[in-house]
Amino acid sequence: MRHRYANREDVAKWYGGEVPATMRAIVIEDDGELIAIAGLAPEGFITQAFSEVKPRAKQHPIALGRMAVAFGKMLETVAVPVLAACNPNEPTSPGLLRHLGFEQHEGAVWRRG
């Protein structure tokens, strides 16, 4: 199991054949299967942060932690505000967003910078 920077094929595979936007992303790969993705997609004067985790990935908290650290370093390179949606169905979402420097902005929208 390892985390690595995503390539165009990874993103297309995760999103069902289409790459929805220009982005930089990190994936966790386990035996050739992508089990988590996190990244940044620039949208004009803001950047959108995103992540998705398959249930299988939750069995690997160390890999998820390493991915979060790498994602935090990626966030440090962004000079514009970053927005993220806090998942109400994921109890760890608010804590992770706070850890990464986000503050609740409006409802489920959190902002960094």
CATH at residue 44: 3.40.630.30
Maximum distance among all alpha carbons in the chain? Answer: 39
How many domains, the chain?
Answer: 1
Q: What is the mean pLDDT of the chain?
A: 92
Tokens of 112: 């960094």
The span from the CA of 16 to the CA of 101, in Å, is 31
Closest CA to 26 of 49, 45, 42: 49
The predicted structure's pLDDT at residue 76: 93
Task: Indicate the DSSP class of residue 102.
Answer: -
Neighbours of 84 (CB within 10 A): 23
Q: What tens digit of pLDDT does each residue of 28-67 get?
A: 999 999 999 999 999 888 899 999 999 999 999 999 999 9
The span from the CA of 65 to the CA of 79, in Å, is 24
Structural domain including 47 reads 2-112
Tokens of 61: 């908290």
The span from the CA of 112 to the CA of 37, in Å, is 19
The predicted structure's pLDDT at residue 38: 95
What does pTM read for this prediction?
A: 0.89
